């Protein structure tokens, strides 16, 4: 069977200190201004932040994602998947953890910024109910580009009484 049709085998685990060098490597692979090991390590002791890793069979980091929750609102910091493991549902699996968490914790919404030209990411978020709610002009540099703000609102169950 060709690689194109092989499902990725992985499990979702919380990010920990041992995984950080690989996560930093993934950041460098994916972003022009990557989070470095020190920044990622700091996030481990941030009580508002949760980072999850998709870990392959031989402990390798295939993807990761981070969420910060402030005042009942969820901010997705990063979602990244190693190039050779893309289009296998890994980002979707990571995102679904945050969506389930957001619904269970009754967050008002999940939101994030994405480069205007980043169609794969925009498609990923739209597939999961995020809508384009705004644009930040020249938000990114290297290269300079607008950010699209994408938000998924959670429906609140009406409270009794």
Q: Does 123 bind ligand COA (CB under 6 A)?
A: yes
Q: Would you call 91 exposed, middle or buried from its count of C-beta atoms within 10 A (0-12, 13-18, 19+)?
A: buried
Closer residue to ligand COA, CB minimum distance, 62 or 69:
62
Q: Which residues fall within 8 angstroms of residue 28, CB to CB, at 6 or more apart?
A: 34
Q: Does 117 bind ligand COA (CB under 6 A)?
A: no
Rounded Cα distance between 129 and 150, Å, is: 10
Q: Which of 12, 49, 121, 153 binds ligand COA (CB under 6 A)?
A: 121
Q: Which of 114, 140, 147, 154 binds ligand COA (CB under 6 A)?
A: 114
Q: What is the three-class DSSP state of 108?
A: coil
Q: What is the three-class DSSP state of 130?
A: coil
# residues near ligand COA by CB under 6 A: 20
Q: Shortest distance, CB of residue 161 to ligand COA, whole angstroms?
A: 40
Our CA dihedral for 42, 78, 107, 53, rounded to 10 degrees, sits at -80
The partner residues of 80 in beta bridges, in order of sequence, read 64
Q: Which of 127, 129, 131, 136 binds ligand COA (CB under 6 A)?
A: 127
Q: Does 80 bind ligand COA (CB under 6 A)?
A: yes
Q: Does 118 bind ligand COA (CB under 6 A)?
A: yes
Binding site for ligand COA (CB under 6 A): 30, 79-81, 86-92, 112, 114, 118-121, 123-124, 127
């Amino acid at each position: 069977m060709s690689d194109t049709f092989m499902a990725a085998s992985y499990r979702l685990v919380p990010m920990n200190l041992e995984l950080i060098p690989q996560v930093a490597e993934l950041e460098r692979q994916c972003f022009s201004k990557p989070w470095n090991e020190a920044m990622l390590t700091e996030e481990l002791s941030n009580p508002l932040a949760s980072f999850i890793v998709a870990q392959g069979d031989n402990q390798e980091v295939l993807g990761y994602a981070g969420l910060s929750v402030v005042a009942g609102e969820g901010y997705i910091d990063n979602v990244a998947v190693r190039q050779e493991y893309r289009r296998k549902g890994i980002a979707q699996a990571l995102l679904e953890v945050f969506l389930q968490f957001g619904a269970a914790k009754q967050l008002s919404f999940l939101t994030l910024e994405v480069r205007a030209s980043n169609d794969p990411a925009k498609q990923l978020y739209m597939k999961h109910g995020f809508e384009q709610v705004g644009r930040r002009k020249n938000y990114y540099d290297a290269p300079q580009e607008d950010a699209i703000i994408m938000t998924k609102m959670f429906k609140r169950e009406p409270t009794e009484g």
